[in-house]
Structure 1
Amino acid sequence: MSAAVLPDWRGPGAEGGGGTAFHEIRTRSFVFARIEMAPGATLKVHAHAEEQLFYMLEGSLTYWVGEEPHMLRAGDVLMVPSGIAHRGEADAATGAVFLEVKEIL
């Protein structure tokens, strides 16, 4: 595989429902995404076979890993273990923007 210039992420992303937009790049090995959540938007409970890393860029987000809530703000990093149910809710005033990285198994 050779190097590539990737799409500009400043435009609208793919609508994920509930006020969430996804800008995603997939390679053979991993997924790298920018996720934008409108104020009060939620991510439904789900789980993955892969571990995930989140890096908060803007706003704030409560992210539950299992039943444990984590309050995330710009600059925070969260690791979600493989196979653990998780969900998120953006702050009602600020919304949230974060990066996600996960390996493709």
Structure 2
Amino acid sequence: MGTLIISAVLALVVLGFDNPVWWLAAGALLYLHTRYVRTGRRSPGSSSPGGAPRPSGGSGPSARGGDNSYRAYRQRRDQMARWERRYRRERPWMTRQK
């Protein structure tokens, strides 16, 4: 995928010698690609930057099975509610009933 993006950017740069708008398109393509690489490759459940799994053993509060699963459920539920509120706030025309 990266090779395809690089070749597309190079083609846009070459086309840009006749029309500088192609350079803007190349810049936009690079910008979108870097945003995808930063955010798109990480799994939604991992909170660590490297995506490394969190340790599950130990004697702390996370060692209690029932409390930990309910806490994870609550965090997922709250995150989903925040996403839904943000979606309704940013796209009010999509949530209207017809």
Same fold by TM-score greater than 0.5? no
TM-score (normalised: structure 2)? 0.16
Larger-Rg structure: 2
Flag the structure with higher helix content.
2
Larger relative contact order, structure 1 or 2 (CA cutoff 8 Å, min sep 6): 1
TM-score (normalised: structure 1)? 0.15
Flag the structure with higher strand content.
1
